[in-house]
């Protein structure tokens, strides 16, 4: 019955190899006693298989060529953007201007939490670090803000934590310390001043420090005051563009505390974060609108960054130093920082190597709550990628916590959940944003993630000035910026 049904099937159209193969198979089945017919059929079958294979390979090759050709083209929001090979000319300003904006604690991904049309506008018409900006270690506010403007790792610019002691003098650094001795390296506003140009800072760690040629000039340097409304900050920056063209500062900073404040209170996923991100987007919209009204939006380079990310924490993820007592006593006066960066400076007479060995023995014993989530190092034994050893200000013992864990001295009755940062900068949760918009940034360009120490050289390249030595790569700007044939 099967044989009859195949032999009486409709004749396939000519030129269809697969249909011919079906017909020939049917013929060979109809008369198995005919060896000549069988050999002929087998030959034709073999030829047809080769033909079908060749057609399939040709189609696959064509598809692969088209796929990889299109995938290699940078994503842009306009067809003309892919043709852009050099920077755009200034139309109103007579010199480049860079506005560096920080949104504290803006974890990478927050831009997708809610409708952010203004941030999105900068992204689609500019250049974005596709998977975020990598902070320096420790992923804290002051070390990272100062790394952004100096191009130096904390061990080299001196701000190794938000709070720390000077082991030589016993003096304590706090976020209100403005003495130049703490602030090493050369921040961008000082570099600009060294070239006889003007800079303006509306809040930024280190900007209030009188250092080198930078004197924090009245009217162009704001002393930190967290109560100043964000709108007022934006209005002040916009007012600089009302000055005569030659008087407009070539470099400006603008700082917002949000959404870091909310992140510490509720973690990265609370509705307060969404509201804060929407608020930052409104400020970016206000800024763009003001620049457009003055006719300079396309001339101004806007670089929007954060200093670090944020991760949720809770009391069930606590480690208590007092639990290490069976192995070693760690008094509170040895500890310079508890969490998320544990920093210990034992007094003379206690070998740091012995302290580290005994602490790790206890943490690995299985008898210390969450002990396996803390690893203690001599600072010189930390992973070299952290660049966190070459400073006497860094205590000799550093403990690194797993994501979301915290260290405290002893148990208390309080229960607290929220958010934190300061962890290993290799954690994706610690990443923040980088968005560049302006004449030297290609429209719709995505670049791989990079460390924030590269930003210093980006800015000096855009401003066409010589920067100070730093930890960034001198070749990095050429991988992100459009070539600049224009002379200003």
Catalytic residue among 76, 116, 127, 141: 141
The answer to whether 248 and 240 are in contact (CB under 8 A) is yes
Backbone angles phi, psi at 435, to 5 degrees: -135, 125
What is the DSSP secondary structure assignment for residue 441, as one 8-state letter?
B
- CA-nearest of 192, 288, 303 to 248 is 192
What is the DSSP secondary structure assignment for residue 423, as one 8-state letter?
S
As to burial, measured by CB atoms within 10 angstroms (0-12 exposed, 13-18 middle, 19+ buried), residue 73 is exposed
SS3 for 220-288 is: CEECCCCCCCHHHHHHHHHHHCCCCHHHCCCEEEEEECCCHHHHHHHCCCCHHHHHHHHHHHHHHHHHH
Could you confirm whether 141 is annotated as catalytic? yes
Neighbour order of strands in the sheet with 251-256: 221-222, 199-202, 251-256, 97-103, 300-305, 434-437, 127-129, 445-447
What is the token pair recorded at 258? 């949000």
472 — alpha (psi -120 to 50), left (phi > 0) or beta?
beta
DSSP-assigned states of every residue in 190-227: HHHHHTT--EEEES-TTTTS-BTTB---TTTEEPP-TT
Report the greatest alpha carbon distance in the chain. 106
As to burial, measured by CB atoms within 10 angstroms (0-12 exposed, 13-18 middle, 19+ buried), residue 217 is middle
DSSP-assigned states of every residue in 46-77: HHHHHHHHHHHHHHHHHHHHHHHHHHTSPP-S
Bond prior to 259 in cis (omega within 30° of 0): yes
Q: Give every CB contact of residue 89 below 8 A, 6+ residues apart in sequence.
A: 439, 486
What does the angle CA 288 – CA 291 – CA 297 come to, to the nearest 5 degrees?
85
What are the residue numbers of the active site? 141
């Amino acid at each position: 019955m099967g044989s009859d049904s195949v032999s009486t099937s409709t004749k396939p159209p000519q030129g269809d190899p697969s249909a011919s193969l079906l017909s020939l198979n049917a013929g060979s089945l109809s008369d198995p006693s005919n060896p000549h017919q069988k050999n002929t059929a087998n030959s034709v079958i073999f030829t047809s298989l080769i033909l079908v294979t060749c057609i399939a390979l040709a189609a696959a090759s064509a598809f692969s060529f088209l796929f990889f050709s299109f995938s290699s083209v940078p994503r842009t929001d306009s067809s003309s953007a892919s043709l852009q090979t050099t920077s755009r000319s200034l139309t109103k300003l007579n010199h480049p201007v860079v506005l560096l904006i920080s949104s504290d604690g803006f974890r990478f991904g927050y831009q997708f939490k809610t409708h952010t049309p203004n941030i999105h506008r900068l992204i689609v018409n500019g250049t974005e670090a596709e998977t975020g900006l990598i902070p320096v270690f420790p992923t804290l506010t002051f070390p990272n803000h100062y790394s952004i403007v100096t191009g130096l790792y904390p061990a080299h610019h001196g701000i190794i934590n938000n709070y720390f002691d000077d082991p030589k003098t016993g003096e304590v650094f706090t976020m209100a310390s403005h003495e130049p001795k703490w602030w090493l390296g050369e921040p961008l506003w000082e570099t600009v001043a060294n070239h006889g140009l003007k800079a303006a800072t509306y809040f930024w760690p280190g900007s209030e420090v009188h250092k080198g040629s930078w004197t924090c000039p009245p009217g162009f340097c704001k002393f930190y005051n967290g109560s100043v409304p964000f709108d007022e900050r934006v209005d002040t920056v916009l007012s600089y563009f009302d000055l005569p063209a030659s008087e407009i500062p070539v470099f400006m900073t603008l700082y917002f505390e949000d959404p870091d404040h909310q992140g510490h209170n509720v973690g990265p996923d609370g509705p307060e974060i969404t509201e804060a991100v929407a608020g930052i987007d409104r400020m970016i919209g206000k800024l763009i609108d003001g620049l457009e009204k003055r006719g300079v939006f396309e001339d101004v380079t806007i670089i929007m960054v954060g200093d670090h990310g944020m991760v949720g924490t809770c009391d069930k993820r606590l480690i208590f130093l007092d639990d290490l007592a069976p192995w070693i006593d760690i008094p509170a006066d040895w500890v310079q920082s508890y969490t998320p960066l544990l920093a210990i400076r034992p007094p003379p007479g206690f070998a740091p190597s012995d302290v580290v060995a005994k602490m790790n023995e206890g943490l690995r014993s299985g008898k210390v709550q969450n002990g396996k989530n803390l690893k203690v190092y001599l600072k010189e034994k930390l992973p070299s990628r952290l660049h966190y050893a070459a400073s006497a200000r860094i205590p000799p013992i550093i403990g690194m916590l797993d994501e979301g864990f915290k260290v405290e001295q002893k148990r208390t009755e309080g229960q607290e959940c929220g958010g934190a940062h300061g962890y290993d900068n290799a954690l994706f949760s610690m990443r923040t944003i980088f968005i560049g918009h302006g004449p030297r940034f290609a429209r719709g360009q995505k670049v791989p993630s990079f460390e924030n120490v590269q930003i210093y050289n980006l800015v000096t390249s855009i401003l066409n000035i010589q920067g100070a030595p730093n930890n960034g790569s001198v070749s990095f700007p050429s991988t992100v910026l459009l070539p600049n044939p224009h002379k200003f």
